[in-house]
Amino acid sequence: MFWTVHARNKKAITLDLRTEAGRALFLDLVDKSDVIVENFRPGTLERWGLGYDVLAQRNKGIILVRVSGYGQTGPDAHKAGYASVAEAASGLRHLNGFPGGPPPRMALSIGDTLAGMFAAQGALAALYRRTVTGRGQVVDAALTESCLAVQESTIPDYDVGRVVRGPSGTRLEGIAPSNIYQSADGSWVVIAANQDTVFRRLCEAMGRPELSSDARFANHVARGRNQDDLDAIIAQWAAQRLPTDIIDVLSAAGVIAGPINTVADVVQDPQLKAREMLVEHFDERLGRSVLGPGVVPVLSESPGGVRNAGPARPGQDNDDVYVGLLGKSAQDIERLRAEGVL
C-alpha cells in the first residue's frame, strides 16, 4: 500500500535513458518541464550525458532536484544511500529508545520522507528564485543531511557544552511534565504541562494545588531536575482514571492532553474527518476505493486534492505524456516500444 499513497496523483511512463533515443526523448520532456527530480547515485546522469549543464542548455529555467544518500559532493557522495543508514549516520537513530537500550528504528521510513520534504521545499525555493533570475538551478537534497536538519540543538549543545544528547525514552530531559501516563484501562495518555501557568492548572485539575508551590516543582528548571518524582505523582493519579476521563478533566482545565491513537482510532477521528484529512481515492490495482491521508497543508485559495492512487502499471500513461504533451504520433510510440526505448 506504500505505492498507493506515495505515488498518488502521479503519471507513470517508461523510458530507457541508457539508449540514445531514450535520452533524446528525455530532453524533449526537459523542454516542457519546470522541475526534474532524480535519485540516482551521483554521477549517473552525467555518465548518460544528461548532467545539469546539458539540461540547462535545452531549458535555461529547468530545476534539477537531486536526492541521494550523502549529497552530490564530499567523500561519501559515491555511496548508495538508504534511509536506515542515513538515520543512523546523522545521529537521529541514536536519539531514539531508552537509555542503555539499542537505538530502535521508527516504524516508518522517516529518512526518506524527510528527504522528500526538503527536496520539495528546495524545488519551491528554486521556482521562486527563477521568477527573479529567469534561470533554474540544482537542488541537492541528501537523506543524511535531511535527518540531521531536524535534530534541533544537538550540534550547538555539543559544541558549547560537550553535551551528547542521547535517548530519553518517552520524555524529553528537562521538560516536565511532558510524558505519557498509563490509564486505568491500560491505554496511554500524553500530558504536556511544562509551562508554569499550565502546570498550575494541572495541579488544580488533579486536586493537588500544593504541588505548584512545592520547591521541587515551582518552576520550569526545578521540574526538569525532579522529573522522576513529578512523573510518579502524575502516573499515580492517571492510573486511577479512564483515558477519556483524564482527557476531559484536563481539557476543561486548559491542560494539553490527548490519547495515543492507533491507525484504527485515527480513521474514526472526527477532527480529521471535519478537516477532510481522511479521503478516499480509487486504486485501479485493487479495483476499489482506498482510504488515505489528505493533502497537507490546506491552502485557502487553491487547496490540493487526491485525483488518483499510485499508477497501476509501468508506462500506463505513455500515450498521455508522449502523444498528448510531446506531440509524438502513435507510430512513433509503437516504434519506440519495439526498439525497447519505452
Identify which of 76, 86, 75 has the alpha carbon closest to the alpha carbon of residue 113. 86
Identify which of 28, 21, 17, 77 has the alpha carbon closest to the alpha carbon of residue 55. 28
CA dist., res. 25 & res. 16, Å (int): 10
Q: Tell me whether residue 4 is exposed, middle or buried, using C-beta atoms within 10 angstroms of its C-beta: 0 to 12, 13 to 18, 19 or more.
A: middle
Q: Is 185 a catalytic residue?
A: no
Catalytic residue among 31, 53, 76, 112: 112
331-337 own/partner pairs: CB under 8 Å, 24+ apart: 336/21, 336/25
52-56 own/partner pairs: CB under 8 Å, 24+ apart: 52/138, 54/27, 55/27, 55/30, 56/135, 56/136
Backbone angles phi, psi at 188, to 5 degrees: -110, 145
Are 90 and 148 a contacting pair, CB within 8 Å?
yes
Cell of residue 15, nine digits: 523510458
Which residues fall within 8 angstroms of residue 46, CB to CB, at 6 or more apart? none
DSSP bridge pairs for 327: none
- Which residue numbers are catalytic? 112
